[in-house]
Amino acid sequence: MTPAERRETLAAVAAEAAVCTRCRLHEGRTRAVPGEGHPDTEVVFVGEAPGMNEDRQGRPFVGRAGDLLVRFLGTIGWRRDDVFITNVVKCRPPDNRDPEPDEIAACRPYLERQLQALDPALIVTLGRHSMGRFIPNARIGQAHGTLHPVDPATGAAAAMVYAMYHPAAALRSTDVERQSYDDAAGIPAALIEARRRRSPGLAANPARSGAPESATR
């Protein structure tokens, strides 16, 4: 896919999600939140669902949890514009409840198409619903901070997934917050490993593999 085709696909997904009625979550949304970020990034963050602020603004992770995510990124020298940020479901569940399995399934084609277009080397999951999409049957308490291969059926053809707690959980627990800072510190190494698995020849030649601290191609 060319960079222009990638941008077209991301815009098409956003336009379709804005008027989507595939699941009951459309009934209570103010705006769909398809996701945003650098279209040429190597790293996609996937959260669970939009909250109140996201629903109002149509943008992902713009509340307190988003501020904390930006702080996590800042500790490794990244900005939110360097990566792509989205959610498993694109519309806000009522009262911020967890998304239901049938809602996640209904919304799945949008995330698949985003991952096909972005073709990331690394997916960072935020929270257990997102993690469950990429690492089935894992427990967040054990899986956070670990790296796993991604099933290409998710839409990401050649990616690794790195699990983190949802920043909202870190806001509720200083222990989770501390662990999340540790996990964030592991993201650049996870990207380097994901690049190595994806293109062993390139990773063997640092001059061609891009700066490890950069999240974009």
Binders of ligand SF4 in range 61-90 (CB under 6 A): 89-90
- Contact segment (CB under 6 A) with ligand SF4 among 16-24, 63-71, 144-152, 170-178 equals 16-24
Residue 22 interacts with ligand SF4 (CB under 6 A)?
A: yes
Candidates 13, 17, 44, 169; binder of ligand SF4 (CB under 6 A) is: 17
Binding of residue 103 to ligand SF4 (CB under 6 A): yes
Contact with ligand SF4 (CB under 6 A) among 68, 85, 107, 118: 107
Three-state SS letters, 162-208: EEECCHHHHHHCHHHHHHHHHHHHCHHHHHHHHHHHHCHHHHCCHHH
User: How many positions of this chain bind ligand SF4 (CB under 6 A)?
Assistant: 14
- C-alpha span between 66 and 166 (Å, rounded): 10
Do residues 116 and 13 lie in contact, with contact meaning Cβ atoms separated by under 8 Å?
A: no
Rule CB under 6 A: is residue 106 a binding residue for ligand SF4?
Answer: yes
* Gap between the Cα atoms of 178 and 170, Å rounded: 8
Give strand ranges (E) for the chain: 36-37, 43-47, 84-87, 122-126, 147-149, 160-164
Q: Which of 91, 150, 163, 184 binds ligand SF4 (CB under 6 A)?
A: 91
**Contact positions toward ligand SF4, by CB under 6 A?**
17, 20-23, 25-26, 32, 89-91, 103, 106-107
